[in-house]
Structure 1
């Protein structure tokens, strides 16, 4: 298989009919690492909306158990990518996502905005750091995939095209980004989680490097200090160099799903999709007690190097 053979396969598919299969090929074969990083930053953006950041802080999930919250979010979204909307696992994951959201007072506008970050941010990341850019054909499939996810989450007035999603995101951020103490606390906890995945002495540098990837409106909303031009150039240059190196590699022959990412650390003995996330307690909101399976499903084998 040659480097662009899978793209040619994708180009032969219909984005209005085959959007799940196309998105699966894009996210699990063509850009698994890039999509993981882009979606991490997509969720990070939502903390800068005070109503969202404050709610996430009040639940305590992002500050008290950030690894579990990260794992649960990634695993639930990943189940749909891997198995599809019509599968039992996909339906279970979406029911669990909807069950968590129903526990809180979340506006339709906030839900649309979060959905828009999932559509827009991977494209923007790949435009700068990817080994190639997404084609218009692929963007149509990605848009159709998230429109289907949004419909199954009961989100009204979903944008119909990528351009409309992009306008939705930019307009919402222009009108809603702002300082909130809780949002900043959630952002700091997330940065601490991300740096904890690497040797301790690297943590300060990794935190600064991550902040350097944030655009000015997002950084200002959190009141993060502006990174030096030299740091921004070094971090951006390293990511661009990685993209050029990946372009020279042979294409991936086996899919790499989110559950296989080394950052997923909370379920070494397996998990049940129906037990991921938080569960409401009357008068309390999100359940502060982790729900542990008595008969956990064993994790599937990871992708081996070179596969």
Structure 2
């Protein structure tokens, strides 16, 4: 029997057979796990990273010390929680357990509805900005796909108890622009969390690449972010090199075969904290008690990216992981 491979635009065509509202979860799963797994991971990483530039968010994250002292764990917890919600949905099971865990963490702090709305708006806007506005996607998102993604995050926002959620992508975009224009500002806490996140991201790469990864990454950041963190402005050469490299990658990916098997965020070799697996209801921060649930072995990552055993535990045998050039900057 002859095996027939998928055609390059077959997933796109399937998406356009679905309803942008009723089938929004299925559409976003296809976009995130088949069409643009690397791109959307980077876009959502930058989405969450930019929230550090909001003083009420950046300083809160710094005050917990989780994002400067346990950065790898916070990166992993965010990736895994958001992955389980997307992969398994909002119904009973791992998806609902992950959603409940996220809400529990958020409720431990005094977070305004306006800040919640801003974070949600970054999730809606940044993938579109990355793929369409920056031109880093191997194809552009259609209006149908943008509407479905917007509907998915509106649904997530409702499950988080967020009020006054915008109804359209344009409204989310306007909210993000207005909010950043009014609130972006430097704080020592936001800068500290930003530095720790960049250090973690750089350490995902081999040592010989790290001196190039840091300026490359900063050249991806908009001027308003550079100013908010008080970083030196990237040179025109680095801006041009980064932009050119990302667009070249998009052209190469366009000529590749479509991804038939899903690639979930939980599969990333950059997620390292739970070598024995994880229960979504038992990861994350527990401000009122022990931050590490008892009975679940976690794995610390040293400053060089090397694995460090937790107290009283031996380092597990090293298992080679798939090569990757992924990087992402995330927090819950």
TM-score (norm 1): 0.93
The residue number in structure 2 matching 1:261 is 268
Q: Does the CA contact (< 8 Å) of 2:275 and 2:297 recur in 1? A: no
The residue number in structure 2 matching 1:97 is 102
The residue number in structure 2 matching 1:156 is 163
Q: Does the CA contact (< 8 Å) of 1:275 and 1:292 recur in 2? A: no
Task: Give the Cα–Cα distance (whole angstroms) in 2 for the partners of residues 247 and 183 of structure 1.
Answer: 37
Against the structure 1 CA distance between its residues 293 and 134, is the aligned structure 2 distance closer, same or farther, given a 3 Å change threshold? farther
The residue number in structure 2 matching 1:47 is 52
Which of structure 1's runs of 4+ aligned residues deviate more than 6 A?
none
Task: Give the Cα–Cα distance (whole angstroms) in 1 for the partners of residues 290 and 94 of structure 2.
Answer: 25
Alignment size in residue pairs? 295
CA deviations over 1:15-64 (Å, ceiling 9, x no partner): 11000011101111000000110111001100000110000000111100
Against the structure 1 CA distance between its residues 288 and 49, is the aligned structure 2 distance closer, same or farther, given a 3 Å change threshold? farther
What runs of 5+ residues in structure 2 fail to find an aligned partner? Answer: 1-5, 299-320, 324-332
CA deviations over 1:153-204 (Å, ceiling 9, x no partner): 0000001000011011110000000010000000000000000111223323
Task: Give the Cα–Cα distance (whole angstroms) in 2 for the partners of residues 168 and 65 of structure 1.
Answer: 31
- State yes or no: 1:22 paired with 2:46: no
CA deviations over 1:220-274 (Å, ceiling 9, x no partner): 0000111111111111111111111000001001000010112111112111101
- Within 5 Å, give how 1:101-250 maps onto structure 2: 101-127=106-132, 128-250=135-257
Q: Does the CA contact (< 8 Å) of 1:271 and 1:293 recur in 2? A: no
Task: Give the Cα–Cα distance (whole angstroms) in 2 for the partners of residues 244 and 197 of structure 1.
Answer: 24
The residue number in structure 2 matching 1:291 is 293
Shift of 1:291: 2.2
RMSD over aligned CA atoms reads 1.7
Against the structure 1 CA distance between its residues 294 and 233, is the aligned structure 2 distance closer, same or farther, given a 3 Å change threshold? closer
Task: Give the Cα–Cα distance (whole angstroms) in 2 for the partners of residues 228 and 175 of structure 1.
Answer: 26
TM-score (norm 2): 0.86
Task: Give the Cα–Cα distance (whole angstroms) in 2 for the partners of residues 159 and 216 of structure 1.
Answer: 26
The residue number in structure 2 matching 1:284 is none
What runs of 5+ residues in structure 1 fail to find an aligned partner? Answer: 282-286, 297-302
The residue number in structure 1 matching 2:88 is 83
Secondary structure at the counterpart of residue 20 of structure 2: coil
Shift of 1:85: 1.2
